Amino acid sequence: MEKKDIKSLTLTELKAEMAALGEKPFRAVQLYEWMHRKLARGYEEMRNIPAAMKTKCGESYHYTVLKTVAVQESAIDGTKKYLFALSDGNMVESVWMRYKHGNSVCISSQVGCRMGCRFCASTLDGLVRNLSASEMLDQIYAITLETGERVSNVVVMGSGEPLDNYENVLRFITMLTDENGLHMSQRNVTVSTCGIVPKMRELAKEKLQITLALSLHAATDEKRRKLMPIANQFTLAELMDCCAYYFEQTGRRITFEYSLVRNVNDTRKDAETLAALIRGLNCHVNLIPVNPVRERDYVQSERQAVEAFAALLAKKGINATVRREMGRDIDGACGQLRRRFLDNSSAGENLSVN
């Protein structure tokens, strides 16, 4: 039988597990604190835990740790991109960004992705597997240890579709915001989805104070279907209803992500259609010039088109910002570093990063 993953257990679950092993409840509290507050990379660091208990835990559970395979640092803005190896050798990417209001980490929620968005590098080889809660937490823990700085914001916007790994992502949020762990505020957590309507509705019912970002990228069903296969399953009308429901349930305004692709979704007409689509919704629009991916032929919108698009939304009273591109010089787009690494290592070359 596969061993249980000890770092994916909530404190309540850990207490029950320790009781079953014949340990006192305070031992579970100590253990949890080592794992999720002191960010121990193994039992050997846990000074106040008896050796016999460490041995028992080692035999009964799997303890996840990430291995840093590569780090790229942007010469432009100090953004760092990490490539981590998981225990089974699979690799995921995370990004660390420094903003005026604090440090932000963008984590992956799956190895690969099965959503198939046309402009995205993460999905080119499909889904390999879901990440566990501990593997998502570990990305933040590893970066905190490596930078020596507190992470104040987390965005689940790396590789993978978080709502396609719903249970683990929810568990991850619970543990990340738990007062016995890093105790991050829910308001500082953003989950980005391509728009799996039933899961968005389920999430709304949790009434979390996180921000939900919806990757829209087009304002008509026809255009969206060309960019995102998920649009064949859910119409924009269904999505907009769902966003209104999300706001109603949580009181949290939705963020719409809109990647601007030259001559595909960046015209004045596109901006007008978008404004009409989201009018009346309590929302914010993030405009992102698309990150070119080697395997795809999408091109970034011209600066002028981006500005005109933003200006038109503003004129219609829609809150919009053009997202500053971070780490443009370091394989910025989701999944690009991992792909480059996999490509190069299978070709027997050494990738030199750092």
Taking CB under 6 A as the binding criterion, the range among 28-36, 37-45, 69-77, 290-298 that sits at the site for ligand SAH is 290-298
Q: Which of 72, 156, 154 is nearest to 109 (CA)?
A: 156
Ordered DSSP codes for 59-123: HHEE----EEEEEEE-TTT--EEEEEE-TTS-EEEEEEEEETTEEEEE--SEEE-SS--TT-STT
Question: Does 231 help bind ligand SAH (rule: CB under 6 A)?
Answer: no
Question: Does 194 help bind ligand SAH (rule: CB under 6 A)?
Answer: yes
In whole angstroms, what is the distance from residue 228 CA to residue 224 CA?
6
Question: Does 105 help bind ligand SAH (rule: CB under 6 A)?
Answer: no
Q: Which of 8, 37, 108, 30 is nearest to 333 (CA)?
A: 108
Could you tell me the two tokens for 152?
């104040």
Binding string, 154-193, against ligand SAH, x = CB under 6 A? ---x---x------------------------------xx
Closest distance of CB 228 from ligand SAH, Å: 8
- The residue (of 278 and 288) whose beta carbon lies closer to ligand SAH is 288
CB atoms within 10 A of CB 302: 14
Question: Does 127 help bind ligand SAH (rule: CB under 6 A)?
Answer: no
Q: Which of 256, 323, 306, 257 is nearest to 283 (CA)?
A: 256
- The residue (of 138 and 257) whose beta carbon lies closer to ligand SAH is 257
Q: Tokens 């299978």, residue?
A: 346
Q: Cα torsion at 97, 303, 264, 323 (round to 10°)? A: 20
Residue ranges in 106-125 that form contacts with ligand SAH under rule CB under 6 A? 115, 117, 119-120
Q: What is the 3-state secondary structure (H, E, C) of 217-242?
A: CCCCHHHHHHHCHHHHCCCHHHHHHH
In whole angstroms, what is the distance from residue 107 CA to residue 96 CA?
9
- The residue (of 61 and 298) whose beta carbon lies closer to ligand SAH is 298
In whole angstroms, what is the distance from residue 172 CA to residue 224 CA?
30
Selected from 36, 333, 337, 338, the binder of ligand SAH by CB under 6 A is 333
Taking CB under 6 A as the binding criterion, the range among 21-29, 62-70, 237-245, 286-294 that sits at the site for ligand SAH is 286-294
- The residue (of 69 and 115) whose beta carbon lies closer to ligand SAH is 115
Question: Does 266 help bind ligand SAH (rule: CB under 6 A)?
Answer: no
Binding string, 204-223, against ligand SAH, x = CB under 6 A? -----------x--------
Burial class (CB in 10 A: 0-12, 13-18, 19+), 27: buried
Closest distance of CB 192 from ligand SAH, Å: 4
- The residue (of 105 and 290) whose beta carbon lies closer to ligand SAH is 290
Closest distance of CB 349 from ligand SAH, Å: 24
In whole angstroms, what is the distance from residue 89 CA to residue 334 CA?
19
- The residue (of 30 and 255) whose beta carbon lies closer to ligand SAH is 255
Cite the active site residues: 93, 334
Question: Does 291 help bind ligand SAH (rule: CB under 6 A)?
Answer: yes
Beta bridge partners of 258: 287
User: Under rule CB under 6 A, how many of the chain's residues touch ligand SAH?
Assistant: 18
Closest distance of CB 119 from ligand SAH, Å: 5
Does residue 177 come out as left (phi exceeding 0), alpha (psi in the -120 to 50 range) or beta? alpha
* Interface residues toward ligand SAH, by CB under 6 A: 115, 117, 119-120, 157, 161, 192-194, 215, 257, 259, 288, 290-291, 293, 333-334
